[in-house]
Amino acid sequence: KKTENQMLVIFGASGDLTARKLIPAIFNLYKGNDLPENFVVLGVSRSDLGDLKFRSKVVLESPYLEKERKEFDADYIQKFADKLFYEDLGSDYDTSYERLEKRISDLDQKYGTAGNHMFYLSTPPSLYEPIAKNLSDQGLNDESTGWRRIIVEKPFGYSLESAKELNNGLHTYFKEGQIFRIDHYLGKETVQNLLVTRFANSIFEPLWNRNYIHHVEITNAESVGVEKRGGYYDKSGALRDMFQSHLLQIVALIVMEPPLSADAEEIRNEKLKALKSLKVMNDEKTLYENTIRAQYVSSKIDGQEVQGYREEEGVDKNSTTETFAAVKFFVDNWRWADVPFYVRTAKRMPTKVTEVVIHFKTPHHQIFKESGISNKDNKLIIRIQPDEGILLKFGVKVPGQGFEVERANMDFYYSSLTETHVMEAYERLLLDAMQGDATLYARADEVEAAWAFVDPILNYWENGEEVKMYGYAAGVWGPENANELFEGEGEWRNPSE
């Protein structure tokens, strides 16, 4: 695919994401010769920086490019830094747009970026609409002299209603085809590999339905707490922060029907159908029985005292925001009727891991009863991170007399593909957007469908009568009663065990 000459304008350029993720991703593209010949980055934010200070901050003195500065010679690094420019936008992101427009057009002419502008909004979501409006007022959404695209970060909305408002707001100034909603999980190789595993093989898809699958389990665990983001997180919580976006995107890829082709719209149409088929839980009894929320409380990890969630900086002392969320739900369609899905996500778990486990049904007729093990299901474990790969567990005969069955593993690890450069999520996603490929970006209707499923759970957790908030010691696999969701039909698989 061709990457046309272009300019990337980053709003929120003095923020953490720019230095930590975006600039290193662009550096990787530079290193891999994936940038177009004419390419500049214009950082925009409220800080008073200037081109040189910006280059120092995000490249020449950035802790996130330390390794690269050792690996490559100074000229090579400087050549990269010289592609970066900076414009300060005053204190409220609401003035100085004329000046910004002028800077963009000067840079465009000087560096030959062909009128193609990508606006990356790495700002609080409350600024998305005002920025879009201001860009539009300056004619910067007009595609008559080059393409104009806008990338927005999550969280995309706070609820179904606010997501709709946000979509309507953005659609006032930009067409859907110009808007790229980033979900960095879609940039992960292993998440994309869900599509390939399912639709490039003939051995899994025939089994991928209610006739053979007993249940599906997804675990997303992080060992860190809320770090320095207490203020943001306390207004968000695990369900909004991870489940509504990243995890429901994974669910959509597991649940969707085969798309007609790998075309962006075909894939997104099928994902939308999948998200719409999640059975919305509306009554309190169902919500009570199928959802669990909890907060981590202080404990000792490896002899070190670790703060509880309510003691974290920026968090309300009486906070009822969850740091653990587990939901059991069903998918109301022909393929998945009656197959339970169990999804959990949490901070301060024993380790950082994300995996999907497809639990197959036991054989209908047991002939090797005595060993017991054949009564357990076959599992396909898709490890999203770390140790990215796939593991299939199945029964084999133990050598010797009789028919004893033991569990064997067949596995594939991405790390065995040592020759290949595995792109980081942001690198892949940025390059896709630069090429106009929206396959790995969430469409407006998808995001709204995900919120439509999550909204009743949030409402129940916020206003329900009998809703409980459990506690779990920082560093364990969530509250003790989390297995109750399975009602005796299994339990969570804790990946390190």
Binding residues for ligand BG6, rule: CB under 6 A, are 154, 222, 241
Three-class DSSP labels, 59-98: HHCCHHHHHHHHHCCHHHHHHHHCCEEEEECCCCCCCCHH
Residues 129 and 71: their CA atoms lie apart, in Å, by 41
Residues 65 and 74: their CA atoms lie apart, in Å, by 12
Q: Which is nearer to ligand BG6, 108 or 241 (CB)?
A: 241
Q: Which is nearer to ligand BG6, 354 or 374 (CB)?
A: 354
Peptide bond into 155 cis (omega under 30): yes
Q: Which is nearer to ligand BG6, 217 or 377 (CB)?
A: 217
Min dist CB 241 to ligand BG6, Å, is 5
Q: Which is nearer to ligand BG6, 35 or 382 (CB)?
A: 382
Contact by Cβ (8 Å): 369, 402 = no
Residues 170 and 150: their CA atoms lie apart, in Å, by 10
Min dist CB 351 to ligand BG6, Å, is 12
- β-bridge mates for residue 471, sequence order: 295
Residues 137 and 77: their CA atoms lie apart, in Å, by 36
343: which residues sit within 8 A by CB, 6+ positions away? 217, 218, 243, 247, 251, 326, 327, 329
Q: Which is nearer to ligand BG6, 115 or 157 (CB)?
A: 157
Tokens 């567990």 correspond to: 393
Q: Which strands, in side-by-side order, build the sheet including 470-473? A: 405-413, 389-397, 379-385, 353-360, 213-221, 341-346, 324-329, 291-297, 470-473
Min dist CB 154 to ligand BG6, Å, is 6
**Nearest one of 44, 72, 45 to 59, comparing CA atoms:** 72
Residue nearest to ligand BG6 as judged by C-beta position: 241
* Identity at 193, one-letter amino acid code: N
* Identity at 425, one-letter amino acid code: A
> 246 an active-site residue?
yes
Min dist CB 496 to ligand BG6, Å, is 16
Q: Which is nearer to ligand BG6, 114 or 306 (CB)?
A: 306
Tokens 């299994």 correspond to: 490
Q: Render the burial of 426-457: b for 16+ CB within 10 Å, e for the rest.
A: bbbbbbbbbebebebbbbbbbbbbbbbbbbbb
Residues 355 and 377: their CA atoms lie apart, in Å, by 17
Q: Which is nearer to ligand BG6, 60 or 301 (CB)?
A: 301
Min dist CB 213 to ligand BG6, Å, is 25
Min dist CB 120 to ligand BG6, Å, is 16
Q: Which of 184, 215, 246, 359 is catalytic?
A: 246
Q: Which is nearer to ligand BG6, 114 or 301 (CB)?
A: 301
Min dist CB 220 to ligand BG6, Å, is 7
Min dist CB 244 to ligand BG6, Å, is 11
Q: How many CB atoms within 10 Å of residue 85? A: 22
The radius of gyration of the chain from alpha carbons, rounded to an integer in Å, stands at: 24
Q: Which residues are catalytic?
A: 246
